[in-house]
Every structure is written in C-alpha cells, then in structure tokens.
Amino acid sequence: MLKGVLIDWGGVLTTGLHEAISEWLVADGIDADHYRELMRELIQHAYDGDGRAGENPIHALERGEIDVAAFERDLAARLLTVHGVPPVAEGLLTRMFAGFQPVPTMYDMLRAARSAGIATCLVSNSWGDHYRREGWNLYFDQVVISGEVGMRKPEPRIFHHALGLVGLRPEECVFIDDIEANIEAARALGLVGLHHRDADATIAAMEELCEITLRVA
C-alpha cells in the first residue's frame, strides 16, 4: 500500500489550463495563434527531458531566479494583441491564471487520503503566487512551491526535497501531474507516476493504488 501522494496544482487541483488561457486570450484581446505558437516553443523547451536544450525564461521564473514583473515584461514584449501591439505587462500572469478554479472532488480525495493516514504534499511549479491557500492545512501535510524552494519539476532534486519533507521513499509514493515530462522524471526516481487527465479517472486510479475509498458521498 502506498503511504504518500505528491500532487501538482494547476490543471490537477484546478480546472484545466486550456480553459483558463482561452478566457484570458479573449479578455486581453491577445492574438491567440501567435500566443500558442510562442508558448508551444517555450514550454517544449522548458520541459525538454534531456536537459540539452539549455535554459529559457520559464526555468528562471519557476525557480524564483527572476521576479514576476521581469518575466511579465519579457513575455508581453513577445506577445501581440489583435490590434498588433504588445499587451499590458503589469499583472499579465495574474490575468492569465484568473480562470483557474478549484476542483472540489480532487480536494475531497486529498482530505480522505489524509484521514486514512496517507501523507500529502503539493509539488507545484509556480509562475508567481497565484495560489488560493485558504484551508490548505486540511489537505496538505507539506507544500513545495518551486519559486519558494529554488527547484522546479522535472528536476530530480525537487522530488527528493518533497520526499524528505514527508519522510518517505520514492517507491512508497505516487506522483500526480498533468505534464508527461514531470511524470517520466518521477518514475525514473522510483515513484509511481499517475498522469492526470480528469478527476474521475485520477480518483479511481488512486483508490486502486491505495486500496481504499477516496470518494466523498
């Protein structure tokens, strides 16, 4: 039986990134095609599993090596609105992630897991502090935010850090994330990797792995 769960935030404990970004693109009047082409290149580069592609601004942001305002200025300069000019840089990331909403059934699962004696740890790559932390003490034994610890997924050291906080070995824990590169990195260290696609499937998989009921009636 597994003794711990390490879990991502955005797109796992919240509604999907695609939906939030789509809302922001419309609200800010961003050229959607240009945005997606730019971000596809940046994200693919940021999560290149072999590490040979070098660094980009996302690495520095997620480790907290540059401040949010500097990243917003850099990103805004690369983006275009439908009017052909850059968007307003100040508050760009806050507006981008404003559409994230919590998924109650996933939080219920974590609370049930803790009640059953399973250690829980949030492991999230941060793009600034856009987290709604109220009540986190009900769901998480430990919290690892990349920009606060100077490490990011899929770097092995952030997984080792989280495991050390909960006092468990890799093979005793499951790691839940919606990014395949992060799942692969966790599996390489011996954790059970669970690729999140929707709440029902993830909760069902967790119940099978942990051999307990995690659905709240």
Please list the pLDDT of the chain residue by residue as tens digits (217 residues).
799 999 999 999 999 888 899 999 999 999 999 999 998 888 887 786 544 456 788 999 999 999 999 999 999 999 999 999 999 999 999 999 999 999 999 999 999 999 999 999 999 999 999 898 999 999 999 999 999 999 999 999 999 999 999 999 999 999 999 999 999 999 999 999 999 999 999 999 999 999 999 987 6
47 within a domain of the structure (yes/no): yes
Say which DSSP state 106 is in.
H
- Point out the domain boundary residue: 96, 121, 153: 96
Choose among 83, 77, 58, 78: nearest CA to 68: 58
- Show the tokens assigned to 110: 């974590």
Measured distance CA(73)–CA(137) in Å, rounded: 34
Among the candidates 48, 74, 96, a domain finishes at 96
- Domain co-membership, 23 together with 85: yes
In terms of Cα–Cα distance, which of 155, 152, 188, 153 is closest to 170? 188
- Structural domain containing residue 61: 17-96
Model pTM?
A: 0.92
Q: Give yes or no: residues 90 and 105 share one domain.
A: no
Domain termination residue (choose one: 58, 77, 96):
96
Residue 99: name the closest of 15, 1, 36, 196 by CA: 15
133 within some domain: yes
